[in-house]
């Protein structure tokens, strides 16, 4: 049986519209999804993204704007979707936690944990960051007593009756799970999660009382409580996977997310699934942060650049290319408009675009016909693609550019423009055209529009030159 793959991103909280830091994750997951579709076939790949819409922050944001929470989340979710669409992200479903099927499945999931004896009522007194919608300990706050991720927000002191999840019950299970070196990638993030569990887990509240938070999915065991936003949000992956036949043992389940969400996905989510008697994801890939001009991009700091702003300046594929080559696949990275422009000119205008233009012009001038060579899906299993096994799309992209460099070298060494023997000229140009045709297939997961353009330019027996793919930026 052909393997199936479920690929997900973290769903974005709708207190504000997403920025380029969030968008990196979508493009990363999209690249892997597009690669897997070319490798395994469209029907065997399901790609999920979406928005996380309940919780205190959204309720307060709506009240501040004098609109209902539903009106607020509808607006921001729609704007988020437009930002993701601007980057040509090929999701199969854009899920919203306010979707009716998700609300139903979240309640059913909660009930399974309750039936397993893993949810109980108790008193909670402690600290809470509304920006993270997360409970905090003193050690997790900075010297000013604020959350490092949301330094402009006031930490809330909470004193209330909640229903708790027996997280402590699953400590040994999680430590055993983390022995699998493929469960969390990259390795440094896995070690961080092991260290956190070894410090000792504490049971966590998984409801909030309605008199404090009305905007949430009602707990199935108590109409006076709503399900805690993180418990509800994580279930979105199961909602979509179950509904579409991708949450089963035949499917490779991969979550992509940023390091700020690692603890919930790596430690809470598997414990929740184990409690509910459901299968565990295969891999959780945790990437770093994008910094802009040396400063962390943050909604709360107001240091934000939107995906569509970059697309308007550089184009969709150049932005995708830049993020996939220079994004925070392992560690935090710093980006700037100057660096994007530099990479655009060197790699795309003077690189790929120039090679295609030179080759098309020589092929047209030769007056020769170029037989169309068929490439099967096996080209996506060749050595260049080996890094995809570890989701290192950046390394695989470097491998593709090495192939491109070899074509350039072949052109410069053989000098087709100087060959007068027609048979020799056809041999040289046919090899070069076929190599670039192949490269045009390999780059589809990265820069799909450009890939199709190259296939159109070179995908004929009689080739004609065309306008530059990437006009040089001044």
Indicate if 19 belongs to the active site: yes
Are 164 and 122 within 8 A, CB to CB? yes
Q: Which residue has the tokens 């579409």?
A: 244
> Residue 397: is it exposed, middle or buried by C-beta count within 10 angstroms (0-12/13-18/19+)?
buried
> Which one is catalytic: 60, 82, 136, 296?
296
How many helices (H) and strands (E) the chain has is answered by 17, 17
Tokens of 309: 């702003």
Task: State the sign of the Cα–Cα–Cα–Cα dihedral 90, 49, 8, 186.
Answer: positive
Indicate if 296 belongs to the active site: yes
> Which one is catalytic: 39, 102, 129, 265?
129
Indicate if 26 belongs to the active site: no
CA–CA distance, 277 with 459 (Å, rounded to integer): 51
Are 382 and 396 within 8 A, CB to CB? no
Tokens of 70: 């539903």
Q: Which of 48, 32, 50 is nearest to 40 (CA)?
A: 32
Residues 6+ positions from 238 with CB-CB distance below 8 Å: 105, 109, 247, 273, 278
> Which one is catalytic: 19, 225, 255, 274?
19
Q: Residue 71 is inside which H or E element, if any?
A: helix 69-85
Indicate if 31 belongs to the active site: no
> Which one is catalytic: 4, 31, 39, 147?
147
> Which one is catalytic: 150, 189, 255, 287?
150
> Which one is catalytic: 22, 26, 103, 287?
22
The beta-strand segments (E) located in 53-113 are 93-96
Indicate if 22 belongs to the active site: yes
Indicate if 132 belongs to the active site: yes
> Which one is catalytic: 4, 31, 103, 132?
132
Indicate if 147 belongs to the active site: yes
Indicate if 150 belongs to the active site: yes
Residue 74's CB is within 10 A of a number of other CB atoms, namely 17
> Residue 296: is it exposed, middle or buried by C-beta count within 10 angstroms (0-12/13-18/19+)?
middle
Are 284 and 257 within 8 A, CB to CB? yes
> What positions carry a catalytic annotation?
19, 22, 129, 132, 147, 150, 296, 299
């Amino acid at each position: 049986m052909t393997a199936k793959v479920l690929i997900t991103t973290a769903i974005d909280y709708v207190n504000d519209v997403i920025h380029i830091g969030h968008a990196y994750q979508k493009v990363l997951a999209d690249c892997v999804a597009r690669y897997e579709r070319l490798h395994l076939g469209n029907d065997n790949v399901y790609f999920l993204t979406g928005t996380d819409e309940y919780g205190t922050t959204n309720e307060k944001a709506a009240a501040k704007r004098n609109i209902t929470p539903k009106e607020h989340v509808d607006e921001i979710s729609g704007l988020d979707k437009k930002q993701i669409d601007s980057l040509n992200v090929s999701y199969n479903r854009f899920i919203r936690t306010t979707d009716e099927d998700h609300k139903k499945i979240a309640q059913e999931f909660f009930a399974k944990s309750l039936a397993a004896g893993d949810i109980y009522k108790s008193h909670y007194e402690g600290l809470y960051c509304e920006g993270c919608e997360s409970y905090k300990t003193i050690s997790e706050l900075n010297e000013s007593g604020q959350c490092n991720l949301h330094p402009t927000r006031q930490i809330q002191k909470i004193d209330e009756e909640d229903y708790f999840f027996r997280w402590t019950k699953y400590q040994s299970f999680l430590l055993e799970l983390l022995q699998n070196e493929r469960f969390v990638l990259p390795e440094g993030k896995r070690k961080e999660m092991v260290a956190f569990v070894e410090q000792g887990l504490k049971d966590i509240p998984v409801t909030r009382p309605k008199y404090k938070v009305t905007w949430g999915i009602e707990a199935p065991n108590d109409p006076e409580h709503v399900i805690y936003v993180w418990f509800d949000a994580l279930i979105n992956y199961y909602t979509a996977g179950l509904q579409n036949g991708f949450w089963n043992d035949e499917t490779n389940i991969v979550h992509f997310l940023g390091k700020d969400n690692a603890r919930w996905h790596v430690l809470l989510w598997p414990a929740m699934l184990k409690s509910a008697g459901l299968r565990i994801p295969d891999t959780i890939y945790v990437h770093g942060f994008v910094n802009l001009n040396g400063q962390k991009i943050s909604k709360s700091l107001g240091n934000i650049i939107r995906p569509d702003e970059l697309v308007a300046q550089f184009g969709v594929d150049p932005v995708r290319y830049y993020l996939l080559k220079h994004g925070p696949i392992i560690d935090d990275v710093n980006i700037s408009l100057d660096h994007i422009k530099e990479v655009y000119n060197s790699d795309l205008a003077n690189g790929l675009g120039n090679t295609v233009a030179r080759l098309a012009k020589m092929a047209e001038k030769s007056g020769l016909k170029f037989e169309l060579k068929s490439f099967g899906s096996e080209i996506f299993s060749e050595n260049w693609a080996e890094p995809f096994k570890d989701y290192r799309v950046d390394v695989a992209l470097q491998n593709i550019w090495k192939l491109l460099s070899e074509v350039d070298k072949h052109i410069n060494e053989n000098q087709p423009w100087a060959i007068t023997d027609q048979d020799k000229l056809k041999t040289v140009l046919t090899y070069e055209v076929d190599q670039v045709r192949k490269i045009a297939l390999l780059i589809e997961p990265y820069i799909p529009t450009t890939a199709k353009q190259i296939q159109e330019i070179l995908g004929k027996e009689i080739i004609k030159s065309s306008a530059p793919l990437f006009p040089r930026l001044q």
